[in-house]
Chains A and B, each alone.
Chain A
């Protein structure tokens, strides 16, 4: 797969000089791109772009909304080990409220037939998360019990002066995934993390580097999933022929 790419960040565009996202996108559109891949700190920014310009838009993560390609690569990683996701217990532990990965994982795994559990202190559990189909657990032990997959999310102590947990140390003591906590999980439990890891906080090194860890496979699968996305968005079909590849 080959493509000409052009990177634009907030500092190289005029976003910092009062130019709006739509202005920036229209300038990019003048270069006739087939696809715009956007990562943006505001939830919904890709939707805003899609309404205003003709190029295909791929959401590479918007605010704390979604990270669809991460969701897909997580599904792919589990599929490579479990073959069928029906009825699997997928547990997500950590800051669900501020994670764009969490929503994509919840929606994706449920669509594939798995049952998704979330756990963390209440400061990390957003209102109405059960409306997305996730089951909220009272404790990390309950969430890990019998789990087929445990996904740990990166933790921050506070965001924009909003205190979420007293310390990373206390979080680690009560919610960190370590070998002992994992004993309640299925023997062949997979450990995942969207990266980068705070070692010793949400994941203990003995688990991050342990036998069930597929974190590096996630990175590898990320490349494949993103190539596939570009191929499909360009009009590629399942038989492998890209249509009108210019």
Chain B
């Protein structure tokens, strides 16, 4: 029997179809349908009272830790956290154990992801074991389900290897995502280099460690004609380089993460390991530059770089602590703050968190047209709540936002019409 859902009186925000209106949205058998195709008698009706209905959010940068580090997160717990954060799709990074550098690991991830709370789009490794020597088998991985390539967690040190990776990825129609870091400058560093690192006696990482590599990727993209996506951009200089490259028509896209537009290096004070990530939190000037770049289009996407760790990696000396924070359940509320402040429009927010990630990764979604899968996020922009790491769905509790009062969140997430989260 056909399964019908009608979301009534929602504010439907669908930038790609230039639609922003209060209306009903009909779904049948996991797809969006028009009223004529519906069978109202059997429908489940949900009155949204003006809450926002947007295409399902897509996080193009998460670490799900499975296979290999299931004590930190599994595909099941990670996607459940994602659904609670309003996501219907996540791209998972290959730095698992073993590394996702071959079709067998890719197939394992896809199998595990079946029936989970979001679509899972595996990202394969650029080099074998992400060791920076020799290309992984992109063709085989793509057949198994890989949608992009990266050695995220570590940079590709060898520029010739990166050049070859871009060329070969282009032949297979795969996107290269760059973790841009010049190791020689960042080695042994554990926070942004500046007055705070000096006061705390912690070895700093200059912004040049990021921007030098960002420029290398731009130059290689120009050389090869291959698309390149810059992950987790944190600094003003990197954003200037990306802005100029886009003006020249270089096929470069870029993402940032909520912590880079919300926090600065000051959050490290007290040796807070929940403020330690790579790239590190930067200065207020950089934070402002990230905010501007989200508004002016230099940045294409907001991604979380969700990086769950256990207390084994975090309740240690700051310089010994692991990099990364969880982010799936706080990303949308932190991004909504930008809308509440008037920095970006609702349309822009949906672009940054749904339309652009879908387009850059080449995956379905980002749109609410008739016939599209019913991957839908309902947002209550006014719901005020206190975020609790303890009560979060992720296994990782490593967040600097524990106890923050946030305004706005996902209240209903549908994956092909299936309810994956409900807090209506």
Contacts and interface: CB of A to CB of B under 8 A. Distances in A.
A242 B232 CA distance: 55
B317 A44 contact: yes
B265 to A, nearest CB: 10
Interface stretch (B192-200, B238-246, B296-304, B396-404): B192-200
Given A42-B318, A43-B319, A44-B271, A127 B201 contact: no
B198 A44 contact: no
A128 B194 contact: yes
Contacts of A44: 200-202, 271, 317-319
A132 B317 contact: no
B188 interface: yes
Contacts of B193: 127
Interface stretch (A61-69, A73-81, A147-155, A184-192): A61-69
Interface in B305-345: 312, 315-320
A128 B317 contact: no
Contacts of A129: 195, 198
B270 interface: yes
A226 interface: no
B30 interface: no
Nearest to A129: B198
B199 A42 contact: no
A114 B240 CA distance: 42
Contacts of B195: 127-129, 131-132
Nearest to A96: B198
B204 interface: yes
Interface string B36-74: 000000000000000000000000000000000000000
B323 to A, nearest CB: 16
Contacts of A128: 194-199
A131 to B, nearest CB: 4
Contact of B317 (A40, A66, A160): A40
Contacts of A60: none
B199 to A, nearest CB: 6
A89 interface: no
Contacts of A131: 195, 198-199
Contact of B318 (A43, A52, A127): A43
B271 A47 contact: yes
A45 interface: yes
A58 interface: no
A20 interface: yes
Given A47-B271, A127-B195, A128-B194, A62 B315 contact: no
B198 A43 contact: no
Interface in B192-233: 193-204, 206
Nearest to A130: B195
B211 to A, nearest CB: 16
Given A44-B271, A131-B198, A21 B316 contact: yes
Nearest to B268: A44
Interface residues of B, number: 23
A103 B271 contact: no
Interface string A16-44: 00001110000000000000000010111
B319 A63 contact: yes
B198 A160 contact: no
A22 B315 contact: yes
Contacts of B315: 20, 22, 48, 52
A163 to B, nearest CB: 12
B204 A127 contact: yes
B143 to A, nearest CB: 41
Given A43-B271, A47-B270, A127 B317 contact: no
B317 A21 contact: yes
Interface in B243-266: none
Contacts of A103: 198-199, 201
Contacts of A87: none
Contact of B188 (A21, A43, A160): A160
Contacts of B319: 42-44, 63
A153 B194 CA distance: 22
A100 interface: yes
A65 B320 CA distance: 15
Contact of A20 (B201, B206, B316, B318): B316
Nearest to B283: A128
Interface in B155-210: 188, 193-204, 206
B271 to A, nearest CB: 3
Highest count of chain B CB atoms <10 Å: which of A21, A43, A63: A43
B201 A48 contact: no
Contacts of B201: 43-44, 62-66, 100, 103
Contacts of B188: 160, 162
A147 B4 CA distance: 84
A160 B184 CA distance: 12
B311 to A, nearest CB: 9
Given A48-B271, A127-B204, A42 B198 contact: no
Nearest to A45: B317
A126 interface: yes
Contacts of B317: 21, 40, 42, 44-45, 48
B198 A132 contact: yes
12 contacts: A43-B202, A44-B271, A65-B201, A66-B201, A126-B198, A127-B197, A127-B198, A127-B206, A128-B195, A128-B198, A131-B198, A132-B198
Interface pairs A-B: 7 shortest CB-CB? A128-B195, A65-B201, A44-B271, A42-B317, A131-B195, A43-B201, A126-B198
Interface of A: 20-22, 40, 42-45, 47-48, 52, 62-66, 97, 100, 103, 126-129, 131-132, 160, 162
Given A21-B317, A44-B271, A126-B198, 14 more contacts: A20-B315, A22-B316, A43-B202, A44-B201, A44-B317, A44-B319, A48-B315, A62-B201, A66-B201, A103-B199, A126-B204, A127-B198, A129-B198, A160-B188
